[in-house]
Every structure is written in structure tokens, then in C-alpha cells.
A and B are shown apart, each in its own frame.
Chain A
């Protein structure tokens, strides 16, 4: 059980890093079970938060969270829950203990749901997230009963209502109806319930039991329409506690944007509405941002040459940036503008200038809200286009990342800088190693997006820094994270274009392939199985060998490698039992309508071969030819076409004529069900 706290490798001196210093303090106190100290720190932060309406530093909101009290990378789920519950028991009247537990469960619900589009979230994920929300809500309601001004607890309830939905038992409390034990197993299909419990178990969470929460007396009564929109109830309650609270208004406004089901212009109308009347113009623009952000980035940035779309987008950017924006919002907006400039306008220099300008507004300890966006674009300009780091802007970003110590892709790029002394940063391999270690430590918590640490390593490679990229990739591969072993295989095999011969080593490649296979990397599993079959010529008629190769292909298939479907079926067709052969051919027939033309073509090819050699179906050259002709008609450019033609018809004209006649006259005539579909 890991309990060592990981501290950033760079000093946190200076007023701009105050919150990180406090965070370290809080985390240490929590880990050491000095709950009185935790209480004291949070109470002081809360008092400061309430005191000033103009307080720009949101340290209280930042630290009174699960990530504020725990370093997730070094404190495992079981320990976190143990500490939280121990704190709660030790301080039965502690508002913060319950508020943070509630927040913790809510964030786990978000982790279970993931950031995917709603349509891509599975039923068991929804159910598990719902269950976690029930537990979260219980604790938050308890917290509200323990404070006169439970602002953060109410804010979390608002977020939960908007993002995942308010739990039904809270709806019942709203209406004054009795509540019962919630989420009973018999309410759901057994498989679904079990799968949801498995999702919860990954975070050490149990399904909710008997709910004992009551509606806190201090909460205002509901209005008629609140049942349909509980998030609005919680927003009103929060604003009754703290009337000028721009962040919560901006958070609420996000759910009014079209991507969350709002109507066009609703965010703007909300920002101009009565709830935002006490805000100044900068704060109001923060509230407007969710609506503008979608207009700027959805759909993707226009393609170069799409002059009308580019002009429209340019107009939106220009008018938005002319507004009175707070620094952080200007930093984010300019970053997107720079990204647009690079992608759509294809102007590297101007894009770089805009990135540099954006960083001027990024005050420490702030950084990019997401990695796959302006940061990726900035990194691309620096790594691939090799632009000068004006004003040390990019170095600043990496310095902050090193101190924040929480984002693996940024830490990867930072490690590159510190290892090889890039962008004015003095080379310090020790720091680089710590950054790599930290990035590796963060892997279990990482939800992959478009710009992963491996993408960063590849970007470094594409920028001409092959050896440096190989160094970093090897470092991650040795730590068995981010499927780096598979990337090392590609490097040492020489698959990447223009690979430096010094990096190519087939023995090492074999080792990396085996390592990647051990890690269950789908591409590696596929490659390994393919090599066993076609390079090592493993005798698959031996059942043990068959099972081995079959297992690897199956692993690749389960990891999402579509081509594995074909290889799996091919192996079964050739070397499986009679039943396996039949199933393989039947399965290939079902794949001929696959949306991926290559897969569909391969499936056709397998059926051709099945009829030619009588694998799983009656042998018939005539039927094989029918299938081939159809395959050729549908996929005239398929990569396997020529080879398949030689198998079926031979390589010369005489062979073709002879085989065709033989098949027609002597070939076995099967029923029409064997013919290819029209």
C-alpha cells in the first residue's frame, strides 16, 4: 500500500504557488491522520472565502475537494476511503468531513461515467454512477445539516443534478415522500447489477444501502418547477448563500449550451439575466463562455481553404476577444485562437505569436484546462516546427506543469525538456527522472484522450528527436506504462519511417514485443500472433500451438483490433475442429457487410478459401469462384485481390479457363444458400 507522498521536483516558493504549498500541507496532514489540522486549514480557507466578495483566489473551492486532500497517484482507493471515514467518525460534527466525502463519491461517479458522449456510456456505467451519486448525496445532505452556510456541499449537489441527475431519494425528500432502501438488486437485471457493482469495486465503493438521510431543515422549500430541474433549486440556494459567485453561475451556464440540450442563445440570455446582475462585465463574460466555446470549436476548426467557415469563425474569435475578459478566460480564448490560426489559417508564425500572447495571461499556478487542444498545438509548433520559445512561454508552461505534477502528457514533454535542456531549461536528468516516474505513477488514473504521453513521444520523434524520443519511450516501457513497450517494438523493429539505424535491433524488438504482449497491448498481441504464424511458422495443427495463437488473436480482438476478427477466423478455419471451422465460416459470412471495407473484403476472402479447400463448408470450386467474383466486383482495389485470384483461378489465362470449366462441369453443385448474396 503506497503511502509516500509524491512532491513536485521544483520548489514551490513564491506567492504564486501558495495553494500548492497548502495542498501539500493538507495532504500530509490527511495522510498522517492529523484531522484536527485538516479541520483547521479548511476552516481558515472557508473563513477567508466568505470574507471577501472580491476574492479572486479560489483556494478554498480548489482545496476542499478530494484532490485537495489526497494525491490520488500515491494514495490508493482503499486508503482514501479509510481516511475519509475515519475523519468523519472522529469529527461527527464536521461539515467539511462530510462535504469532502460527498464530493469524493460524486467525483468517482464522474470517473465511472467518463467524459465520453452520453450515447457511448454503457448501462452498467450509468447505474454504477447513479449508485455512487446516492452515497454522495447522502453525505452532502448530512453536511448541509452541520453548517449554516454549506456552500460547497450545495454546489456539488448542483453539479450532480446537472451532470448525472439528482438521485431519486432526494426527489422523494423534496416531495416529502417516504424513502426506502434504494438501488435494490432485484430492481435490476442480475447481469447489469453485477456489472455495476464491479464498476464500483474498481474504486473500492460498495453499492448504497439503506438511506437514512433527511432533508435538512435549513434548506428553503421547493418551488413548483424545481422537481423537473433540481439543479436550479441548488443554484438558487447557493446564490442565497453567496450572491456574487461567478464560478457557480458559469458552471450552471455550461448546461444551458446546445451540446447539453439548451437552446441557441440560452447561455447568453442567462448571462444577461437577473441571476447575473450583480456580476461585473468580466465575470459575466465568464458565464457567457460555455456558449461561445461551442461556437468556436464545434464542429472542429474549419479546414484550410474553407473560406466562408474560416471567415465566420474568425469573426466570432475577434468579437469575443474584443470583450473585457478576465485573464484566465483570455488565456484560454487566445490559446484556441492560436490553434485555429495554425490549423485553419496554416500560419505557423502567427499561431506561435498568439500562443505566446495567451501565456502572458496565464498566471501561475494556472494551466490549460485540457491537453488535447491549445497545448497540443503549442507543443506541435515547438517540437515539429522548431520555433523559438519567445518570452520563455513554452518553458513557463512546462515549469507550471512540473509543479502541478498532475498531468502525464505535460510531464512527458517537461521530462524531455529537463532531460535534454530544451527551451532555455537547464538539463537536469534527476528532475527528468522524477517527472517520468510521476507520469508513470499517474497512469492508473489516466483517462486517455487525443494527446497521450505516447502521442507526445511520437511528436518528439516526428520533430527529428529520434534518440530523445526513444529514450523517453524506453523509460516508460521499462516502467510498463502507456503501452510504451508496443511503441518500443515499432522503434526497434524500424517500422517508423527514416528510423536511425542505431535504434534498430531485432533482438530487442522481440523482447519489447513479448513485454507488450505480457501487458496485453492489443496491437502487440496481434503482431505477436501474426509473427508466430507467419515468421516462426508455428505448427498450428498442434492443438497447444493453435490455442496459443488463438488466444493472442482473441486478446487483440477484445482490445479493439478489428483485423483480429479475420485472423481469428482464419486460424479456426484452417486448424480448428470441425465445429470451429463451421462457426468461423458462418462468422465470416456475417462480416461481409462490415462497415470497414478492408475487413469486409478480408471476410469475403476467407469464405472464398473455405469453399476452395472445404474448410467448414462443402468443398466446391464453383462456389468459391462465385464468391470470388462477387468479392472482386465489390472490392476491386482490395490488397488481397491478386493473391486470391491466383488461388482461385490460377496465374495464367489457360489455368483460369481450365479451372473455370472444371468447376462448372465437374464441380460440386451446392444449394443456392451457399451462393454469395446479390
Chain B
């Protein structure tokens, strides 16, 4: 708060000084000649001062929710639950509750003419559909903490300060006149510190809010909520939404209802099983604090619930719904109406992405057919077989092309890592865990394979097979690779990190190492996953 206030005071003082600078000159400068000389420049100082003050007084537009407003009368169960939590948290009432398409919950505050603040809660339908009532309650309790502790107020102050200083930064981008030098110097000193402090403040607010959720709902539920959210986030990003867009090849977007589907907890909205869920969490727990993020890192949040991140995870993880979802419990029949509206909005926004996905599907299908024809005419190398196997998974799911392609590719190049990984994927799919484990060990012997990835996969397989000790060994090995200290050295050797941290850099370096024998430079481009 002190930093914010300090910045605001300096800004106002500077602006005011500039605006009254002609008067100050008149009072302070005795010589008429000097007054005449400075008369014209001071006019520009006044304008400059007015611009500076204008950035202070400009109010960014209030945030507007893109969600659907819930009428309390239509969702009595939700209203009751919100009231219960409000009383437990000793927080003011939410003025309005919206439901949007995010796997998230948030609040924002707006001022009103009467001086009363309005508190708005935004709940994501995916969050309500994929978490139980108890887990969702922990999330809402966290949000209540923000408004009960005036976090929202300070957050808005910090938000406005950041906007203000960003506007000042733009003002000074091209204006390098001498008179602007003091303020520019102050900007370069103050703004990085402001950002650091406000982010640190935001993180402290989040931890306080987490503590509130724990106090209201209990350690277990808070833990479950954090874990469930993390797992769902992973599933939604890597399985559910890609699975939706895969349909673009066959279906029209009008037939797709992702949010209605979420209400039924589809298979691809969660991990495959508890073993996979565990490994996802292992990865998440390795994430280091991000100095640019307003939220604490996952490990810290879990630790706050009393769980030691270094210990093995509990056997039982909330990777799927074992009770009624919050949406069913709180929204009842109204959930379908909300889902339908969100689906309609989604279809409008996703039309272009759908079209691109359709084109990509058609392109891949062409490639597949071309490969099939080429297979008759040409000798394939391992890359051709690999490409055929990948495409066959999509375009010949029930056929034998994929298996044949993998077999032929491995006959051609028995130690090809990519082909072996496809084969091991098939083994996992049919549940042949022991052969899959053997194959992963074999892949691990190849220097071009990713040690980190192999340890994670072996951890998952051992968990699935019930060998917890082996799973834990592989987990530890993967975690060590991720946080490898040697990575620090690489940054000192002149490798540009491009935003990656040391452990990520090491991983990338090791993965690409075999290619550097044949290439001077490697370009990594984003692309669709096959």
C-alpha cells in the first residue's frame, strides 16, 4: 500500500508542479529577460503537466463479466450455499453472480454512485460441473476471503496504478525532451519495484484467501479442491478441448455442445486413472514460482493444506467425481439452460478455429491417403512409417495400418525412439503394463530419448502395476532432472533461455542434443498435435 501511495503522491506532485511552473518561475526568477526566454517553454510544461495529471485521473473502464447472470430465484441451492459461506467467512454479499466458460472462479469489484462497492462473483461452469459441491465451496470461500479482507479493493488500486504507469510509459516512449527526464528517471526506478511489490502483495492475498478456505472447509477439502482443479485443468487443456476440435473433421460445429457435455463428466475431462493423475501432480509440484504470476505456486498451495509436497501423494486422489457435481447440486435443471447458452456463445467464437481445424483435418486426411498410395509404390524410411502410424491412429482407428506401420518402421529402424513410443502407447492402451515397462526401459537406453519423459511414464506405469516403491524412485529421478542444478551453467554459457527456466533449458538441451550433431541451428515451430 505504501508503494502505491508513494507513487500516486509523486505523480500528483510532479503534475501539479508542472502545471504551476509558470507561476513558480514568475515568483522565483528575478530577471525579466530570463522570464521572456522561459515564457514559451513553460507553456509546453503546462501541457505536459496536464497530460501527466490526466493519466492519474483517468479511470479505466470497470470490468464487465462475459458470463451469464444468475437469478437467485432460479438457483436457490446456490444462493443458500453462498449465504452459508458468506456467514462463515464474515464477508459482504455478492451483488451479482455470473457463470462463464472458464475452469475458474473470480471476483471483481466496482464502485457505485452511492459510494457502496459492488462485489461480483464469476463462477466457471466447467468448475461447477467437474468439482463436487464441497470442493467448489472451498473455491468460493477463497473468493469470499478476497472481498472480506479488502483484497479486491487493494487489487483494484494496484490494477489502476499499473494502468496509470503503463499509460505514462507510453506517453514518454517518444517524448525525450529535457523536461521529461526527471519523470522518466523516476519511472525507470519506480515501476519495476511497483510491479514486484504488487505481485508479491497479490500472492500474499492469495495465501490469505487459501487459509480462509482451509479454515472454513477444512484441510482435506481444501487439498481436494486444489488437486481436483489442477487435474481438471490438465485434462481440459490436453484432452477435452483437443477432443472437441478433433470432431471438426466430421461434424458441423452446430452439433457440438462442449458445455452440455461437461455436465455429464465425459471421459476426457479427467485423467485416465489415478496413476496418470499422480504423475500429472508430480509434474505440477515441480513447477517453480513464477515471479510474474499473482498466484503462489501449486506446491505452496498444497503445503498450506498441511500436505508435504515431498511426500508421496495419497493413494486416493480426486481425479474424478465421486459425488454429485456442484453444478447438479446447486444449479439443478438450470445448469442445462446455462450450458446451452455457453455453447451458443462458444460456437460463435470458435467458428474460425473450427474452420481451421476442419481444414487441418482435411489436409491430414490427404496426407494419409497419399502415404497409403506411396506405400504401394515406394520404399518407406522410418519417418514415413512414423508419419503413417500417427495418421492411421486418426483415420484408420479400427484398422491394422497403424500396427503394420509401427512394425515395419521398427523393422527398418529398431531403435527409433518415436516409433517405440508409439508401440509402447499401444501396449499401454491394451493394458499390457509389463511389456510397456520393458519397452520404456529399452527406449531409455537410447541417448536421444528424453530421460525425464521416460521416468515420468515409468512412474505412471509402476503405479498402475501397484509397485509404489519403483514408482517413487522414478518420480524422484524425474524431479531431480527437472530441477537440475547444472542447468544454471548453461545459461551462463550464452544459451538464450527464451523464457525457459534452467531446468526446462536443460531438458530441451538434452532432448535436442542428437540433432546438433547434424545441424547448426534448430527451429522449433508450434504445430498441431497429430
Which residue numbers of A lie inside 8 Å of B, CB to CB? Answer: 225, 228-229, 232, 265-266, 269-270, 272-275
Contacts and interface: CB of A to CB of B under 8 A. Distances in A.
Nearest to A265: B381
Contact of B378 (A225, A228, A269): A269
Nearest to A229: B373
Interface string B356-375: 00000000000001001110
Question: Of B378, B379, B380, which is in contact with the most chain A CB atoms at under 10 Å from its CB?
Answer: B378
A228 B377 CA distance: 15
A609 to B, nearest CB: 39
Interface of B: 369, 372-374, 376-381, 384
Nearest to B369: A225
Secondary structure class of chain B's binding surface, majority of residues: helix
A228 B366 CA distance: 9
Contacts of A273: 377-379
Given A266-B378, A269-B379, A270-B377, 10 more contacts: A225-B372, A232-B377, A269-B378, A269-B381, A270-B378, A272-B378, A273-B377, A273-B378, A274-B376, A275-B377
A269 B132 CA distance: 57
Contacts of A225: 369, 372-373
Nearest to B371: A263
B368 to A, nearest CB: 10
A562 to B, nearest CB: 39
B362 to A, nearest CB: 12
A270 B380 CA distance: 9
A232 to B, nearest CB: 6
Contacts of A232: 373, 377
Nearest to A249: B377
A272 B379 contact: yes
A274 B374 CA distance: 11
7 contacts: A228-B369, A229-B373, A269-B384, A272-B379, A273-B379, A274-B376, A274-B377
A273 B369 CA distance: 18
A232 B379 CA distance: 16
A36 B376 CA distance: 43
Dominant secondary structure at the A interface: helix
B157 to A, nearest CB: 44
A275 B384 CA distance: 18
A274 B379 CA distance: 7
A275 B373 CA distance: 12
A100 B379 CA distance: 35
Contacts of B378: 266, 269-270, 272-273
B380 A269 contact: yes
The 5 closest A-B pairs by CB, nearest first: A269-B378, A272-B379, A273-B378, A270-B378, A273-B379
Nearest to B380: A269
A294 B392 CA distance: 32
A273 B380 CA distance: 8
Contacts of B384: 269
A453 B295 CA distance: 77
Contacts of B372: 225
Contacts of A228: 369, 373
Contacts of B369: 225, 228
Contacts of B374: 266, 269
A519 to B, nearest CB: 50
Nearest to A272: B379
A228 B374 CA distance: 12
Contacts of B376: 274
A208 to B, nearest CB: 30
A650 B310 CA distance: 88
Contacts of A274: 376-377
A225 B376 CA distance: 11
A136 to B, nearest CB: 25
Contacts of A266: 374, 378
B420 to A, nearest CB: 23
A266 B369 CA distance: 15
Q: Which of A232, A265, A269 has the most CB of B within 10 A?
A: A269
A147 to B, nearest CB: 26
A229 B378 CA distance: 15
Contacts of A272: 378-379
A228 B367 CA distance: 12
Interface centre among A228, A232, A273 (most CB of B within 10 A): A273
Contacts of B380: 269
Contacts of B377: 232, 270, 273-275
A530 B337 CA distance: 80
Contacts of B381: 265, 269
Nearest to B383: A265
A161 to B, nearest CB: 14
A219 B192 CA distance: 78
A266 B384 CA distance: 10
A272 B378 CA distance: 7
Contacts of A270: 377-378
